Amino acid sequence: MIAYFGPQGTFTEQAARGLIPDGEFLPAETIFAALNAVRDGRAEAACVPVENSVEGPVNATLDGLTESTVLVAVAETILPVQFSVLVRQDASDIRTVASHPHALAQVRQWLATNLPEAEQVPTSSTAAAAQAVRRGEYDAAVTASVAAQHYELREFVGGIADLADASTRFLLVRRPGRLPEPTGADRTSLMAVTVNRTGALAELLTELSFRGINLTRLDARPAKTHIGQYRFFVDMEGHIAEPRIGDAVAALRRRCSVRFLGSHPRADHAPSSGEPPVGNEDFVAATNWLESVRRGESV
């Protein structure tokens, strides 16, 4: 069973069906509920949105992955997202338009131009907004086009997005277990809580940079312990099975609290960029040399 951030008709449902085409799916009303379905065993995995190219990180996912037993990402997909504005068949004027905040943000200009008087109302998801329009609570919903069929609504307008090539990245997460095999085009995700000291984050990032590891994402979320304490979410190119990446992650672990959030193939299949100053084979050779020195066989 694959839980997904629902209800039926969300972009996340499309992502889940793309990742596991022959899966059995369990819609969840919130991202936390989708993740907790994995934690309590009702689902083997969950599909949740993690970031989009307009609004950035999906905070509920970052918090949800780490605020209980940790779940790890084993796959990802990136969907281009365009939106439809759905209304009831008998719609006349539109005084309220509802959607997920990340959807409203991605059509902000369109709404300001075309529905400037409509009150914008945040809902838990785009499909939840469609359900609310069906119930008569709001006049319009900004959704994926597929939601029209699920909730018997009419497409007032389709194919809208302020940025034509906007996209959203979704994760498939599971309980910790066997890692996906390295592919040479992978992403490793961590959550680190640094000590609240000048330079602590810079030192953490230096452990990556001087090993030639390219950071692909850095987000900060409140640690919710006290003001000023943050959880840093760090994505990097590479797979933790690679000696160079493993060496860097161990170095971070020596410096601060680190949680592993997964190593998995990148949806864009982009191989690790650049020629690192020291490659995986150098780490293996250095480790072998150190072991032979310790055995008194080398100097």
Ligand X SMILES: O=C(O)C(=O)Cc1ccccc1
The beta strand positions in 145-245, using DSSP E, are 154-160, 167-174, 186-193, 215-222, 230-237
Give 48 or 87: the residue with its C-beta nearer to ligand X. Answer: 48
Give 15 or 192: the residue with its C-beta nearer to ligand X. Answer: 15
- For the segment 64-93, give every residue that binds ligand X (CB under 6 A): 81
Total interface residues for ligand X by CB under 6 A? 15
CA distance 90 to 271: 51
Would you say the C-alpha torsion 5, 7, 13, 17 has a positive or negative sign? positive
Buried b (16+ CB within 10 A) or exposed e, 244-260: bbbbbbebbeeeeebbb
Q: Is position 5 an interface residue for ligand X (rule: CB under 6 A)?
A: yes
Residues 86, 156 contacting (CB under 8 angstroms): yes
Residues 110, 166 contacting (CB under 8 angstroms): no
CA distance 171 to 266: 10
CA distance 175 to 182: 19
Q: Is position 12 an interface residue for ligand X (rule: CB under 6 A)?
A: yes
- Give the other-Cβ count within 10 Å of 227's Cβ: 7
Helices 31-39 and 59-66 cross at an angle (nearest 10°) of 20
Give 77 or 214: the residue with its C-beta nearer to ligand X. Answer: 77
Q: How far is the CB of 100 from ligand X (least distance, A)?
A: 4
Give 34 or 191: the residue with its C-beta nearer to ligand X. Answer: 34
Residues 88, 100, 169, 266: which binds ligand X (CB under 6 A)? 100
Stretch that binds ligand X, among 6-14, 220-228, 249-257, 276-284 (CB under 6 A): 6-14
From residue 160 to residue 179, what is the string marking binding to ligand X with x (rule CB under 6 A)? Answer: --------x-----------
From residue 124 to residue 163, what is the string marking binding to ligand X with x (rule CB under 6 A)? Answer: -xxx----------------x-------------------
Q: Is position 10 an interface residue for ligand X (rule: CB under 6 A)?
A: yes
Residues 74, 97, 103, 190: which binds ligand X (CB under 6 A)? 103
Query: Residues in the site for ligand X, rule: CB under 6 A?
Result: 5, 10-12, 49, 52, 81, 100, 102-103, 125-127, 144, 168
